[in-house]
């Protein structure tokens, strides 16, 4: 925020008034002159000026007692420095109070007093940062300046106010005494009542002058507040340069931490990947060697079996490479999603249609779709059609893979409020409670699935979650070991008119 952006007390900012002709200009001048009399904040400003007296007195005690004790007596006992730091702290809190008062009463908009870039909660670095902060010393200087300035302003306003009140009260007091005094009273003559025709106008003039002083004081008080806002902005807050630097520094720290995390993730990814591809490569190599080994020629049946293993493992490795490419694109921010309103039930139907025969043939698992009734409003969500298909394929394939023979995997689509819900449920092995929180981590597989010969590399759910979140959706799992699991994807509902 630049200085010019800082909006503070909105005083005296009525420049560039249009000229409405001499008459109106004069009337406007008079209104401007009288305006503070009708502005409650001007009276608040007057109180603010009077409050300078106790504050100046407080600063006098703080600086006087604080400095003399720090530099004289206590210095001798070696605790002068901590005592002085205490004085600085008190000065700091006193100006915090001043800032709050200005912000509360007059809307001072100030920069913070510290940038908080130490980032440490230990007392020693915080103390050092406090002493290194120029605002600490400026605050102390402020308390110094406030002793003469505060007394001068406060006492000036107090005297002016007393004078003005006396002058305004004079004609009323005169009239009161005139009502009770009789000719011949000593007071009667002393007050010049005999010649009241001449005295009263003079006193009315005095009263008017008193009122003029009050209005002048209100104007002055507003000026004092403007002056204090300027003082607070220059002395009681960090500079714009400091603020910019701190913002840049914290951005660097955040960026550094992000880069470090990302580097750690990448290292972990490489380690996991190396670990995971070992087994299929060893298997491929073993079977290929067996085929090439000239010693015992394998039968035709054996050759076919070996080649099938090689083919299956090669396919798995190919799928892993595809998954890794998705992960890498996501990391590099290159995963472009084409979000548009899509008909979710249609996609779910296609996935079920594509996988149902395989589920039945390979695993004797029944795959069913529970889609909205024909004629019901279509379930349309903001999504990337291909990526959503990929997510559902992952979930349904898992359902099929982790459900024993005779089980059922269902895909249900529902609309609930502003969300479209897709639930993939199975009657399979289920997932143990301790595995549930980690199930979406990269390369995480439960012991149950590790012990199986087939299966993925534990990237499917991690990728699915990344994709769903990139579509501004959520994915969650509920599972009961031995009974089955239910994965629920929720996407933002979209208006059905523009379905892709
Ligand atoms: P994978 O490729 O190994 O299936 P995923 O990321 O898709 O990897 O899944 C991670 C792990 O979560 C699986 O290894 C498996 O242990 C468990 N899992 C996923 N879906 C199911 C399910 N429907 N039922 C039981 N366990 C599941």
pLDDT of residue 499: 45
Whether pLDDT at 452 is above 80: no
- The tokens for 143 are 């308390």
Comparing CA positions, the residue from 93, 103, 82 lying closest to residue 136 is 93
Instruction: Examine the pLDDT at 191 and tell me if it is beyond 90.
Output: no
Atom of ligand 1 nearest to the CA of 450: 14
More confident residue, 250 or 177: 250
Question: Measured in angstroms, how far is the CA atom of residue 427 from the centroid of ligand 1?
Answer: 14
Multiple choice CATH, 340-498, 2.40.50.140, 3.40.50.300, 3.30.565.10, 3.40.50.720: 3.30.565.10
Ligand 1 centroid to residue 398 C-alpha, Å: 6
User: Which protein residue has the closest C-alpha to ligand 1 atom 18?
Assistant: 398
pLDDT at 172: 86
Residue 311 above 90 pLDDT? yes
The predicted structure's pLDDT at residue 297: 76
Cα 304 to middle of ligand 1, angstroms: 30
**Index of the ligand 1 atom closest to the CA of residue 429:** 25
For CA atoms 456, 461, 463, 464, the dihedral sign is positive
Ligand 1 atom closest to 459 (CA): 6
Protein residue whose Cα sits closest to atom 25 of ligand 1: 430
Q: Which helix (H) or strand (E) holds 432?
A: none
- Residue 445 CA to ligand 1 center (angstroms) comes to 6
Query: What is the average per-residue pLDDT within 151-156?
Result: 96
Q: What is the DSSP string of 330-347?
A: HHTT------EEEEHHHH
pLDDT range class, residue 4, cuts 50, 70, 90: very low
Residues with CB under 6 A from ligand 1: 394, 398-399, 402, 426, 428-429, 431, 439, 444-446, 448-449, 455-462, 485
Check whether 76 has a pLDDT greater than 90. Answer: no
The Cα 165–Cα 385 span in angstroms is 80
CB-CB neighbours of 18 under 10 Å: 7
CA–CA gap between residue 406 and residue 424 (Å, rounded): 17
Phi (first) and psi of residue 475, to 5 degrees: -135, 135
Residue 71: pLDDT above 60? yes
The residue to which tokens 């520094």 are assigned: 249
Which of 171-175, 255-259, 367-371 comes out lowest in average pLDDT? Answer: 171-175
Quote the pLDDT of residue 190. 54
CA of 402 to the centre of ligand 1 (A): 7
Q: Which atom of ligand 1 is nearest to the CA of 399?
A: 23
Residue boundaries of the structural domains of the chain: 50-238, 272-332, 340-498
Percentage of the chain lying above the pLDDT 70 cut = 87
Q: Starting at the edge strand that comes first in sequence, how are the strands of the sheet with 366-370 ordered?
A: 366-370, 408-416, 419-426, 484-492, 474-480
CA of 173 to the centre of ligand 1 (A): 95
pTM score, whole prediction: 0.54
Residue 450 has pLDDT above 70, yes or no: no
State the distance from the centre of ligand 1 to the C-alpha of 433, rounded, in angstroms.
14
What's the CATH number for 272-332? 1.10.287.130
Lowest mean pLDDT segment, chosen from 112-126, 231-245, 404-418: 112-126
**For ligand 1, atom 14: residue with the closest CA:** 445
Is the pLDDT at 97 greater than 90? The verdict is yes
Q: What is the mean pLDDT of the chain?
A: 85
Q: Return the ligand 1 atom nearest residue 462 CA.
A: 6
**pLDDT of amino acid 449:** 67
Confidence of residue 496 (pLDDT cuts 50, 70, 90): low
Neighbour-count burial for 167-182, b at 16+ CB within 10 Å, e otherwise? bbebbeebeeeeeebe
What are the pLDDT digits (tens) for 462-482? 999 999 999 999 999 999 999
Q: What is the pLDDT of residues 107-142, one digit of tens each?
A: 998 998 988 755 567 888 888 889 999 999 999 999
Range picked from 46-55, 200-209, 290-299 for highest mean pLDDT: 46-55
Residue 500 has pLDDT above 60, yes or no: no
pLDDT of 103 = 92
If you average pLDDT over residues 166-183, what whole number do you get? 80
Q: Whose CA is nearest to atom 11 of ligand 1?
A: 445
Find the mean pLDDT for residues 62-66: 90
């Amino acid at each position: 925020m630049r200085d010019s952006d800082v909006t503070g007390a909105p005083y005296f900012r009525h420049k560039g008034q249009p000229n409405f002709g001499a008459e109106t200009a004069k009337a406007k001048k008079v209104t401007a002159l009288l305006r503070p009399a009708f502005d409650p904040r001007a009276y608040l400003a007057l109180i603010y000026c009077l409050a300078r007296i106790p504050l100046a007195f407080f600063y006098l005690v703080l600086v006087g007692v604080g400095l003399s004790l720090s530099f004289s007596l206590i210095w001798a006992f070696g605790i002068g420095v901590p005592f002085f730091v205490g004085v600085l702290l008190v000065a700091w809190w006193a100006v915090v109070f001043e800032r709050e008062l200005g912000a509360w009463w007059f809307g001072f908009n100030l920069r913070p007093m510290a940038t908080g870039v130490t980032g440490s909660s230990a007392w020693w670095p915080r103390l050092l940062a406090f002493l290194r902060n120029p605002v600490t010393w400026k605050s102390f200087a402020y308390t110094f300046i406030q002793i003469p300035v505060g007394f001068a302003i406060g006492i000036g306003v107090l005297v002016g106010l007393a004078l003005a009140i006396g002058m305004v009260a004079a004609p009323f007091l005169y009239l009161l005494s005139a009502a009770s005094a009789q000719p011949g009273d000593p007071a009667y003559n002393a007050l010049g009542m005999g010649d009241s025709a001449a005295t009263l106008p003079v006193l009315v003039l005095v009263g008017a002058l008193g009122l003029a002083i009050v209005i002048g004081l209100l104007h002055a008080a507003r000026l004092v507040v403007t002056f204090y806002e300027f003082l607070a902005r220059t002395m009681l807050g960090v500079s714009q340069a400091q603020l910019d630097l701190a913002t840049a520094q914290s951005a660097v720290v955040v960026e550094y931490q992000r880069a470090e995390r990302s580097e750690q993730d990448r290292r972990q990814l490489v380690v996991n990947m190396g670990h995971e591809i070992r087994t299929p490569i060893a298997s491929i190599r073993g079977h290929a060697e067996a085929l090439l080994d000239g010693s015992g020629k394998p039968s035709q049946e054996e050759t076919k079996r070996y080649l099938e293993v090689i083919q299956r493992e090669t396919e798995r490795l190919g799928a892993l490479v595809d998954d890794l490419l998705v992960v890498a694109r996501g990391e590099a921010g290159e995963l472009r999603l084409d979000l548009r309103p899509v008909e979710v039930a249609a996609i779910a139907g296609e996935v079920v249609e594509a996988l149902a025969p395989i589920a039945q043939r390979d695993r004797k698992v029944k795959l069913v779709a529970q889609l909205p009734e024909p004629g019901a409003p279509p379930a349309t969500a903001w999504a990337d059609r291909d990526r959503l298909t990929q997510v559902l394929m992952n979930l349904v394939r898992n359902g099929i893979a982790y459900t024993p023979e005779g089980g059922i995997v269902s895909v249900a689509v529902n609309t609930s409020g502003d969300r479209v819900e897709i639930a993939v449920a199975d009657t399979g092995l289920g997932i143990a409670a301790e595995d549930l929180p980690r199930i979406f981590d990269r390369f995480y597989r439960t012991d149950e699935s590790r012990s199986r010969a087939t299966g993925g590399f534990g990237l499917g759910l991690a990728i699915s979650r990344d994709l769903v979140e990139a579509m501004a959706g959520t994915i969650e799992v509920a599972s009961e070991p031995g009974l089955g699991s239910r994965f629920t994807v929720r996407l933002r509902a979209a208006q059905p008119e523009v379905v892709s």
